[in-house]
Amino acid sequence: QVNPQYEGTFVFPNDFPALQPDAPEPDALHPSHFCFLHSKVMCFHPWSDLTLPLMSLAEIRAVIDAWAELVAELGASYPWVQIFENKGAMMGCSNPHPHCQVWASSFLPNEARLEDRTQRQHLSQHGVPMLLEYAEQEARRKERLVVENADWLVVVPYWATWPYQTLLLPRRHVCRLQDLCDGERDSLASIMQRLLIKYDNLFEVSFPYSMGWHGAPTGPYMKEDCGHWQLHAHYYPPLLRSATVRKFMVGYEMLAQAQRDLTPEQAAERLRSLPEMHYK
């Protein structure tokens, strides 16, 4: 099957969805549930050598708009819509054409349930959305701040375990991507470009990472109060010391607890100091 000629973003069904059609019979040691998953792939740009940091702001904005449209479209039927990008062979990406995936599931995945619970608890105990309060604190302290603008900030989070892990946060209370106004989408394109250029400049390589968006659940949750949620994006890059030396989560980290090779403050300072003009 050959895709049509396209000039911007291009969305199509994933030919290899992750879920099996049939669930095995469950028992006490092997619980299982039947569920649905709708999988799509989005190519960012027709050019196969043009990654997000090399795209124009208008082209990145088109990607953001497509993300928001997909969350709204799939979220009408599914409780969770997961947008994610695995960039680079080091992160298991089998197709070098810059793209992301969008999986809509009939259930809340583990990470979504954990974030829902912790954010709900924080709002109940402190009266303010957790990540909104966290963004305000990081904006004041500056020590873990990487880049910021009027609507967004990027920090190396206090709890980071990957060397140059970052968290992208809006400054105002926003639950879902489709809730962003026109100006916030423009400023999101700008801050994404700035962050990703810094990533590429760190070791002068097309920087590998896994990233994804988390926002309030959709589907039936659209009728519920999700005010405890705050939209955000996670970036998990593996590189540690060079373009070829990466961090491995092994040994003690796999069997006991993750360890840091850099403090979040050291990583943020390093990223902050990098130029915002691409090395190419």
Which sequence spans correspond to the domains of the chain?
Answer: 10-25+32-272
Mean pLDDT of 243-264: 96
The CA distance from 218 to 109, in Å, is 13
Biggest CA-to-CA distance, the chain: 57
| Residues making up the binding site | 115, 214, 232, 234
Active site residue 99: yes
Question: Helix (H) and strand (E) counts for the chain?
Answer: 6, 9
The CA distance from 26 to 125, in Å, is 37
pLDDT of residue 260: 93
Is the pLDDT at 23 greater than 70? The verdict is: no
pLDDT of residue 148: 99
The CA distance from 154 to 220, in Å, is 31
Give the residue from 269, 187, 199 showing the smallest Cα distance to 238: 199
Q: How far is CA 163 from the centre of its chain?
A: 16
End-to-end Cα spacing for the chain? 34
Annotated catalytic residue within 38, 45, 99, 228? 99
Is the pLDDT at 161 greater than 60? The verdict is: yes
What is the fold, at CATH topology level, of the domain defined by 10-25+32-272? HIT family, subunit A (3.30.428)
pLDDT of residue 82: 98
pTM over 0.85: yes
pLDDT in tens, 126-137: 999 999 999 999
Is the pLDDT at 256 greater than 90? The verdict is: yes
Give the residue from 202, 228, 209, 201 showing the smallest Cα distance to 217: 228
The residue with tokens 């990583």 is 267
Average pLDDT, whole number, for the chain? Answer: 95
pLDDT of residue 89: 86
| Residues making up the binding site for Fe cation | 115, 214, 232, 234
Give the residue from 155, 187, 194 showing the smallest Cα distance to 276: 194
Is the pLDDT at 21 greater than 60? The verdict is: no
